[in-house]
Structure 1
Amino acid sequence: MDPNLLYWKHEGQSFLSRLRIWFNLLDPSTLLSSDTEIQKAYALLGRGEKLNEEDGHALNLSLSSVHADTGDTLPLVFRPPAFLPMSVPLVVASFLPHSGVKPALFWQFMLQSYTAGFNHTNRNSSSEQGKKTSLKQLLLLAGTVSYATCAGALPQIFINRLGIRSASLQTFFRSILPIPLSAALAFFSVSTIRSEESETGIQVFDSKGNPVGLSKAVGQKAVRETALSRAALLGSTAAIPNLLVLLLKRTRLFKRNTLLAAPVRHMSVAFVLGLMIPISFSLFPQLGKIRKENVEEELKAAAVDGQLYYHRGL
């Protein structure tokens, strides 16, 4: 089993412990480290020696910058510490009340492209070792981005094409509809881009960390958990700022200063997104467990202690 996964097995089985770890791993300063430094940190973790406080940086570097299936360094922009600085401007711009369809489509395209790339890069790739990205995967990526872009811009498309002028209807399309829509598209993106894991299965391990085979049931569980965590992330990021602005607009201060709504919306989106990223990443373990009753017959014998382990991906 990969040393990163072994660490998650021993340290990341409770929500609070995972949350503490992710707050450390999302430090953007790790993005300044070179590939050589990252691989040295990964090798240090792989030696299995007990790490002291001085090795804490190497531990964070390995966990946040190395793919747990391949051992390769993740592309800079798709590493977990880059997710917040890369996604904040895209999410804020996507949630703006646009005046036309083209700006809405453009910012949705940028957001959906980045999240699709992040989902694909951080997937479980245990069944794809030694294989290059197939044409099917590329078409799946392109199709997912295209569909999610058009669906994400639907509120603005409705407003423009139907010529909606009613304040209450505009509020519904700009502030209420994006909440379930954002959550649904986030769930859809992960489920579609990582559908191969459900179709071919992912590697499962016994309690000693030995690989015992591929499981489709486990692949479906890993994809579903990650999709739910991403839906919680973007759904909450759409809900809290929009509902906050709707409530504040009823106050005397905001009625007299209507221009205050825009900066409050932008700052609250950035704040909620920054808070929800480590929470959503921590909802499910990186090294998940599944009971032997829920896996294929040929794998049950390997579950000596009644359960098997799997890398969920991110």
Structure 2
Amino acid sequence: MTRIDVSNPQFNQNTYWGRARHFFATTNPLNLLVSSKALEESRQIVVYDSAFHPETDQKMLIVGRMSAQVPMNMAITGCMLSYYRSTPAVVFWQWFNQSFNAVVNYTNRSGKDPLPLSQTLTSYLTATSGALITALSLNRLAARAPPLVGRFVPFAAVSAANCVNIPLMRSKELREGILVFDSNGQEIGKSKIAAKLAITQVVISRIAMAAPGMTLPPILMDALEKRGVLGRMPWIAAPLQVALCGVFLTFTTPMCCALFPQTASVAISRLEPELQSLTNCSAIVNYNKGL
């Protein structure tokens, strides 16, 4: 029997559909139910990518795994969309969301080195403050706009926070660069340019991941409100939006994770001159962009 190489994804990562199949498997919420013992045994068998970091080889925090994205985000997003009019609720759910995002960003960072606690706390507090300021400011402006506009405030706040939270939580990569490898997997050095590419791709993926579940349900809920459905059955708003977010995230999470290869490639000629001097300038090098 040929031993399966668990260090490489099961599906072809050079195609979008191969990456999508890979992330449909790794983001499956049922992976959260696998015991620690079974996960450790999986190192010797097949299932691996969903629970272990591709560079450190360490088991990831359960809340930070991509398989936790659907159940966690459907609850958080559904509640943000349901309680967007209440200032205390906006503060709580934006704080809760950014706390969750901080764990996800730390868990799925690129590189092997741990982040200093001071940097982690600074990034977390800055991103949370940014999300709160954005949400509360937009809510104030939306008070004078049509009701539907107010329902899109949570998405605007989440998008703005992603643009802040991810770069901040990975600011060490921007300062020091991330490792790039040649075609044989040998380390060439660290590149700040590759870090910028990686973080930009992750920000785009995260915003795209959230977009359908945070823009389409508000349109439906606005229609239900105009028809009086929510007036007759106000209790249905939160569970309906949580369920709708869950349906969208089940598909958008793996499909948006697959927008860019996790092991991304870039021409060495696009990177720093000092790296170009270490290898063939026409070569393609690889880096782990994170998720």
What range is the shorter-chain TM-score in? 0.7 to 0.9
Identity within the alignment, %? 23
RMSD: 2.6
Distance 1:243 1:171, change over 3 A: closer
- Indicate yes or no: 2:56 matched with 1:70: yes
Task: Determine the structure 2 residue equivalent to 1:310.
Answer: 287
- Runs of 4+ aligned structure 1 residues displaced above 4 Å come to 247-250, 255-261
1:151 to 134, 145, 149: 134
For residues 187 and 250 of structure 2, the distance between their equivalents in structure 1, rounded to whole angstroms, comes to 36
Gap regions ≥5 residues in structure 2: none
Distance 1:259 1:275, change over 3 A: farther
- Indicate yes or no: 2:147 matched with 1:170: yes
The normalised TM-score by structure 1 is 0.80
Moved more, 148-157 or 87-96: 148-157
Show CA shifts across 1:211-257 (max 9, x none). 1111111011111100110111123321122233345666xxx3567
Q: Is this contact kept in 1: 2:128–2:161, CA < 8 A?
A: no
For residues 6 and 265 of structure 1, the distance between their equivalents in structure 2, rounded to whole angstroms, comes to 37
Task: Determine the structure 2 residue equivalent to 1:53.
Answer: none
For residues 86 and 230 of structure 2, the distance between their equivalents in structure 1, rounded to whole angstroms, comes to 24
* Amino acid across the alignment from 2:126: G
* Amino acid across the alignment from 1:306: A
Shift of residue 186, structure 1, vs aligned partner: 2.1
- Indicate yes or no: 2:220 matched with 1:220: no
Distance 1:116 1:195, change over 3 A: same
Moved more, 65-74 or 133-142: 133-142
- Indicate yes or no: 2:70 matched with 1:94: no
SS at match of 2:50: helix
Task: Determine the structure 2 residue equivalent to 1:59.
Answer: 46
Q: Is this contact kept in 2: 1:207–1:303, CA < 8 A?
A: no
- Indicate yes or no: 2:105 matched with 1:119: yes
- Indicate yes or no: 2:141 matched with 1:141: no
Shift of residue 5, structure 1, vs aligned partner: 5.8
Task: Determine the structure 2 residue equivalent to 1:202.
Answer: 178
Q: Is this contact kept in 2: 1:182–1:235, CA < 8 A?
A: no
Please state which structure has a larger fraction of its residues in helix: 1
Distance 1:257 1:198, change over 3 A: closer
Query: How many pairs does the alignment contain?
Result: 283
Distance 1:73 1:282, change over 3 A: same
Task: Determine the structure 1 residue equivalent to 2:9.
Answer: 7
- Indicate yes or no: 2:249 matched with 1:273: yes
Distance 1:82 1:298, change over 3 A: same
Q: Is this contact kept in 2: 1:186–1:234, CA < 8 A?
A: no
